[in-house]
Structure 1
Amino acid sequence: MSSTDRLRRYLTDEQGSCCEADVEERLAELESLDAGESAIESDVDVLSAFANETRYRILRLLHVANEELCVCEFAPLVDVSDSAISHALSKLTEAGLVTRRKDGKWRKYRATPRASAVIVALDGSREL
């Protein structure tokens, strides 16, 4: 059984008949919808980073603050160990959701525009 057999049967049901050109045309249409491997990988990384309560709480704090926050400012607000906060911030940085800069002996973090856009979209989706 080929990977296009079901598609061929579907097109036959929808159109009344189906030839190889119909299958190839539909495959080309469907392939044009694909975002591409690198975009999908990047998006899955972002969604994975959001899929943890500690990381999401930190992102929301940074988004609402709309300014840099020192790593020390998260501990009183996030009920996890310092190492868990550090790990969460590393994951968020790797996913491109926060920026990090060193300021003397302190590390400061800021939400990226992409992180804020996802949070805004989530906020808007709750109102639907």
Structure 2
Amino acid sequence: MSSTERLQRYVADECGSCTDEDLAGRLAELQELNESVGGSDLETDIELLSALGNETRYKIVRMLHAADDDELCVCELSPLLDVSDSAISHALSQLTDAGLVTRRKEGKWRMYRATPRANAVLVALDGSRSL
């Protein structure tokens, strides 16, 4: 059974009948819905969620968030994470690319801070636990 046939059966069950016009109208509504959630925002959100989908990256963002407005150096993160320095560096690059952390160079040190977007996501996650 095709997805269109299934949709036609669903519309018929919900409305009592389903003409070709009813089906075309519902497909148009669904297409508008699909277009409203697509685009660059979707891609950016997926990148953000993918970046948080790894324990090391998530823990780094959590630590930077907990540091409030303080920056942390890679050398401060390293003793707290059970991964190699190169894994930390790679994780920080992905988090930077996803817009979750900012990086600045101070002499030979790289300093990191959670972005407002990262803070907002973490606050939302924290708030969702009590629901």
**How high is the TM-score relative to the length of structure 2?**
0.88
Matched residues, percent identical? 69
Match of 1:119 in 2: 122
- The match for 2:74 is 71
Q: Counterparts of 2:116 and 2:44 in 1: how far apart (Å)?
A: 15
Deviates more, 1:50-59 or 1:96-105: 96-105
1:23 aligns with 2:26: no
**TM-aligned CA deviation for residue 2 of structure 1:** 4.8
The SS at the match of 1:107 is strand
**4+ residue runs of structure 1 moved beyond 3 angstroms?**
none
Q: Which residue of 1 aligns with 2:86?
A: 83
Shift of 1:33: 2.6
CA RMSD, 1 decimal: 1.5
Unmatched runs of 5 consecutive residues or more in structure 1: none
Which residue does the alignment assign to 2:56? 54
* Corresponding residue of 1:98: 101
Q: CA deviation at 1:28?
A: 2.5
Matched position secondary structure for 2:104 = strand
Structure 2 regions of 5+ residues with no counterpart? none
TM-score (norm 1): 0.90
Aligned pairs, number: 128
Deviations 1:87-115 (A, max 9, x none): 11011111111111111111111111221
C-alpha distance in 2, partners of 1:26/1:57?
A: 44
